[in-house]
């Protein structure tokens, strides 16, 4: 088992709480960037079945206060068009940049300039969040 998973399991089960499946610990550790406080806060938002791997995790995962604090600086300076674009991207079922622009009623400049390109990567006409925590927020 990797060190990341072992560390996450120690944090998640350290309080004598619920059993945590290794694949769930790995997912939560990746999502929280191995932040112990965020791991504990996120685990508190999940059910015992989700932690044990008996129920699906939500998509996106809940945002714990520590995660919001970690992500907030990357969103500073967003204008209305940028907020609309990120919200549309977070809810989109397509990863096509042209569909995103049309749905967000935005110009290409909004996708390529300012804060948006720091959180959304665009490659070969497709977009993806650089940090899945931003999508959850």
Whether the pLDDT of residue 1 is over 60: the answer is: no
Q: How do residues 18-57 score in pLDDT, each as one tens digit? A: 688 999 999 999 999 889 999 999 999 999 999 999 999 9
Residue 76 in this model has a pLDDT that exceeds 80: yes
Sorted by sequence, the CB contacts under 8 Å of residue 82 that are 6+ apart come out as 110, 114, 115, 116
Query: Is 84's pLDDT higher than 80?
Result: yes
**What's the whole-number average pLDDT of the chain?**
88
pLDDT value for 94: 94
Q: Centre a 10 Å sphere on the Cβ of residue 103 and count the other Cβ atoms it contains.
A: 17
Q: How far apart are CA 8 and CA 26, in angstroms?
A: 7
**pLDDT at residue 116, as a whole number:** 92
**Helical (H) or strand (E) element with 128:** strand 126-129
What is the crossing angle of helices 36-45 and 22-31, to 10°?
120
Interatomic CA distance for residues 3 and 85, integer angstroms:
37
């Amino acid at each position: 088992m990797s060190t990341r998973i072992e560390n996450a399991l120690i944090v998640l089960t350290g309080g004598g709480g619920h059993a945590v499946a290794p694949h769930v610990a790995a997912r939560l550790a990746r999502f929280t960037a191995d932040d112990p406080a965020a791991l504990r806060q996120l685990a508190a938002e999940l059910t015992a079945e989700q932690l044990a791997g008996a129920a699906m995790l939500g998509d996106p995962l809940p945002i714990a206060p520590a995660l919001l604090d970690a992500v907030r600086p990357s969103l500073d300076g967003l204008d209305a068009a940028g907020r609309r674009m990120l919200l549309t991207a977070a809810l989109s079922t397509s990863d096509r940049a042209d569909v995103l622009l049309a749905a967000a009623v935005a110009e290409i400049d909004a996708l390529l300039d300012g804060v948006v390109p720091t959180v959304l990567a665009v490659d070969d006409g497709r977009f993806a969040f650089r940090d899945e925590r931003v999508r959850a927020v």
